[in-house]
Structure 1
Amino acid sequence: MSDDRFTTSDDDLLSRLGSLLAEVDSVPESVRAAAVASYSWRSPDTELAQLVDSMSAADVRGDEARLLTFRADSITIEVEIIPIRDRLRIVGQLVPPQPARVQVEQPGSASTSGTDADLLGRFAFDDTSPGPTRLVCTPPGSETVHTEWTTL
Structure 2
Amino acid sequence: MDHDGLLAQVRATYQALDPVPAEVLAAARAALAWRRPGAELAELTGDHAGQAGAVRGTPARTLTFTARDTVIEMEIAGTGREREIAGRLAPPSPARVHVRHPELPPGGPETHADDTGHFALPAIPEGLVSLLFHLPDGTSIVTSWIRL
- Which structure would you say has the larger Rg? 1
Tell me how far 1:56 sits from its aligned partner.
2.2
Q: Give me the whole-angstrom Cα distance separating, in 2, the residues matched to 1:42 and 1:115.
A: 18
Please say if residues 56 and 67 of structure 1, whose CA atoms lie closer than 8 Å, have aligned partners that are also in contact: yes
Tell me how far 1:66 sits from its aligned partner.
0.7
Q: Counterpart of 2:94?
A: 99
> Which of 128, 135, 142 pairs up with 1:146?
142
Tell me how far 1:140 sits from its aligned partner.
1.1
Percent identity for Structure 1 against Structure 2 = 35
Q: Counterpart of 1:128?
A: 124
Alignment TM-score, normalising by the size of structure 2 = 0.85
SS at match of 1:141: coil
For residues 78-114 of structure 1, give each alpha carbon's deviation from its aligned partner in whole angstroms, at most 9, with x where no partner exists.
1100114431000111111111001111124223311
SS at match of 1:15: helix
SS at match of 2:59: coil
Q: Give me the whole-angstrom Cα distance separating, in 2, the residues matched to 1:53 and 1:149.
A: 13
Q: Match for 1:65: what amino acid?
A: A
Q: Give me the whole-angstrom Cα distance separating, in 1, the residues matched to 2:123 and 2:92.
A: 25
Q: Match for 1:134: what amino acid?
A: S
5+ residue gaps, structure 2: none
SS at match of 2:96: strand
Please say if residues 54 and 69 of structure 1, whose CA atoms lie closer than 8 Å, have aligned partners that are also in contact: yes
Alignment TM-score, normalising by the size of structure 1 = 0.83
Q: Give me the whole-angstrom Cα distance separating, in 1, the residues matched to 2:7 and 2:103.
A: 28
For residues 12-57 of structure 1, give each alpha carbon's deviation from its aligned partner in whole angstroms, at most 9, with x where no partner exists.
12212212322332211211122233334461x2101111122124
5+ residue gaps, structure 1: 1-7
Q: Give me the whole-angstrom Cα distance separating, in 2, the residues matched to 1:17 and 1:132.
A: 30
Q: Give me the whole-angstrom Cα distance separating, in 2, the residues matched to 1:108 and 1:28.
A: 14
RMSD across aligned positions (CA): 1.9
